[in-house]
């Protein structure tokens, strides 16, 4: 063996050892700072984890892109989901007076809120874009109360890591981490463009998460569970999305 290749071999081994050690340290740190998404064990977990970790580090507190009123879309596309259930029809007939939002899990005070209760909380409005994973988008004004207001009132316990949220339709649920849940732009939306939130757009209640793609902005919201253990929900990957091949995190 000539000296050059021996030197190369030594450098190579040192680099390989450093990479393995570096990866182990990185994984420890990432877990500690909450940079590993619930679906990191999936087929494309490596890329999903890198994206989530980088974006979480960069964007924990950054505000969603907002637009001037003149840019609000004249003909927004509702992309209506599956026909509402019988229960939805009954609630709609009653003017949504009996619609309830349940808040439970790792909170000091579980709650049940009506649309009127939510309307009495501090209102936040934002002009943001809905961007669908399919490629289309539109801009609207969204009016409602920040999720953080409700969570503060319920008293989130310190061990909480995720907020799981459910639609009225069985089996349709999502979750976000605490950084997104406490973000001022994450709002329990009751109004759109100066009116009540229309049913095709998720009325009477939709959670808007404007810094992620449309599928995280769940329509027909009925139930919020704060948790310290996301693995207990569904197949343990954070939402129904990984069950359909989609990634839990939708910041890109």
Partner 1 sequence: MTHWVTFIAFVALLISGGEIVIPHPRFYWGEVGNVNTRPLFVVPIPASRDTVPTRYGYVLTDENGWGRNLHFEAAWVVVFAGLVYGIFGLWSGHFRENLVPRRRDWTWRAYWDRLAQYRGRKRTDGTEANTYNVLQRTAYLGVIFVLFPLIIWTGLAMSPSFTSVFPLTAALLGGRQSARTIHFFVSWLLLLFLIVHVTMVARSGFWSRTRAMITGHMRDSKEGD
Binding site for partner 1 (CB under 8 A): 42-44, 46-48, 50-51, 55, 58-59, 62-65, 67, 71, 73, 75-77, 79, 129, 131-139, 210-213, 241, 244-247, 251-252
CA angle, corner 183, sides to 182 and 186, nearest 5? Answer: 100
Nearer to partner 1, 99 or 201 (CB): 201
By CB atoms closer than 10 A (0-12, 13-18, 19+), residue 45 is middle
Q: Report the DSSP beta bridge partners of residue 146.
A: 187
Nearer to partner 1, 169 or 180 (CB): 180
Q: How far is the CB of 182 from partner 1 (least distance, A)?
A: 15
Q: How far is the CB of 5 from partner 1 (least distance, A)?
A: 13
Nearer to partner 1, 64 or 118 (CB): 64
Q: According to the 3-state scheme, what is the secondary structure of 166-220?
A: EECCCCCEEEEEHHHHCCCCCEEEEEECCEECCHHHCCCCEEECCCCCHHHCCCC
Nearer to partner 1, 209 or 230 (CB): 209
Nearer to partner 1, 139 or 156 (CB): 139
Q: How far is the CB of 122 from partner 1 (least distance, A)?
A: 22
H or E, element range at 165: strand 162-167
Query: Residue 220's closest CA among 170, 156, 179, 181?
Result: 170
Query: CA separation (Å) from 114 to 142, 155, 165?
Result: 19, 18, 16
Q: How far is the CB of 9 from partner 1 (least distance, A)?
A: 17
Query: Residue 139's closest CA among 189, 67, 211?
Result: 67
Q: How far is the CB of 140 from partner 1 (least distance, A)?
A: 10
Nearer to partner 1, 42 or 117 (CB): 42
Query: Is 141 within 8 Å of 72 (Cβ atoms)?
Result: yes
Q: How far is the CB of 209 from partner 1 (least distance, A)?
A: 9
Q: Is the dihedral of CA 74, 80, 83, 85 positive or negative?
A: negative
């Amino acid at each position: 063996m000539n000296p050059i290749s021996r030197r190369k071999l030594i450098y190579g081994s040192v680099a390989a050892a450093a990479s393995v050690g570096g990866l182990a340290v990185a994984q420890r740190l990432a877990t500690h700072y909450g940079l590993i998404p619930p679906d990191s064990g999936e087929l494309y977990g490596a890329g999903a984890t890198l994206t989530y970790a980088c974006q979480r580090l960069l964007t924990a507190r950054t505000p969603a892109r907002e637009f001037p009123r003149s840019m609000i879309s004249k003909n927004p596309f509702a992309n209506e989901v599956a026909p509402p259930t019988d229960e939805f029809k009954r609630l709609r007939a009653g003017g949504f007076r009996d619609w309830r939002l349940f808040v439970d899990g790792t909170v000091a005070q579980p709650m049940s809120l009506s649309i009127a209760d939510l309307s009495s909380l501090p209102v936040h409005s934002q002009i943001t874009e809905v961007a669908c994973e399919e490629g289309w988008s539109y801009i609207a004004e969204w009016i409602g109360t920040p999720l953080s207001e409700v969570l503060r009132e319920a008293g989130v316990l310190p061990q909480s890591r995720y907020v799981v949220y459910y639609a009225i339709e069985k089996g349709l649920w999502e979750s976000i981490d605490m950084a997104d849940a406490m973000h001022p732009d994450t709002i329990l939306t009751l109004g759109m463009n100066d009116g009540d939130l229309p049913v095709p757009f998720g009325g009477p209640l939709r959670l808007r998460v404007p810094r992620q793609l449309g599928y995280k902005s769940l329509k027909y919201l009925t139930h919020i569970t704060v948790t310290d253990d996301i693995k207990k929900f569904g197949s343990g990957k954070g939402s129904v999305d990984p069950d359909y091949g989609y990634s839990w995190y939708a910041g890109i």
